[in-house]
Structure 1
């Protein structure tokens, strides 16, 4: 089966609340994650909420990496969605773990745009 994109969803629990509220640090983590997985960065955009929390996205030529944080819960939700065979989104995970220091991480690994062709077994 052929597919168009790789989509990794990260559930990060027990993260350092200071990191989850660090807008500049999150922007750097996004950029470092892009580089680690071999993607092409177009731009980043982050926003710091009051009283706490950050949202951010790295827009890629190959799609995006996004994060939404809840420092009061020690939780972050992330998406790494890429297309192109040269990009390996799972390689961004060590960068993310190093910065956020989660105690527990759940990873959903999805294939997007699956194309079933004649002769493919399902």
Structure 2
């Protein structure tokens, strides 16, 4: 159950379809996840209205992955976006897939500045049939 959790804040993102279209953002997230070798099980994306007729609204969405999840939120009025990528696997290290997904989203969205944090989650635990038996009261 060990996995890599990547949190990223994107700043100074160019105006473009991925910042203002839930449909385009969904297609990007699915394509990038599958391209990284991850398995998409489901998704939900939502399109926000702009504050007024002069602004496009942002988008928010999430993919449920067999290996965990991806969540993306955009704020075109602030030229920003946030990402939450968590990729784990009970039998192996999928951190390279998390990094590939992150790199593709950076490449396509093209933020001018990024604040990113990587956190290793879980710990090495034995497989269920190798785990010691513990008597509970």
Q: Which has the larger radius of gyration?
A: 2
Aligned pair count reads 115
Give me the whole-angstrom Cα distance separating, in 1, the residues matched to 2:118 and 2:109: 20
Does residue 66 (structure 1) correspond to residue 71 (structure 2)? The answer is: yes
Distance 1:112 1:86, change over 3 A: closer
Name the structure with the higher strand share.
1
**What displacement does 1:86 show?**
5.2
RMSD, matched Cα: 1.9
Structure 2: runs of 5 or more not aligned: 51-56, 126-137
Q: Which residue of 2 aligns with 1:119?
A: none
Higher normalized contact order (CA 8 Å, seq sep 6+, divided by chain length) = 1
Over 4 Å off, 4+ runs:
none
Give me the whole-angstrom Cα distance separating, in 2, the residues matched to 1:4 and 1:44: 23
Equivalent residues in 2 for 1:1-122 (5 A)? 4-18=2-16, 19-51=18-50, 52-84=57-89, 85=92, 87=94, 88-115=97-124
Contact 1:63/1:82, CA 8 A, preserved across alignment = yes
Q: TM-score, normalised by structure 1?
A: 0.84
Structure 1: runs of 5 or more not aligned: 117-122
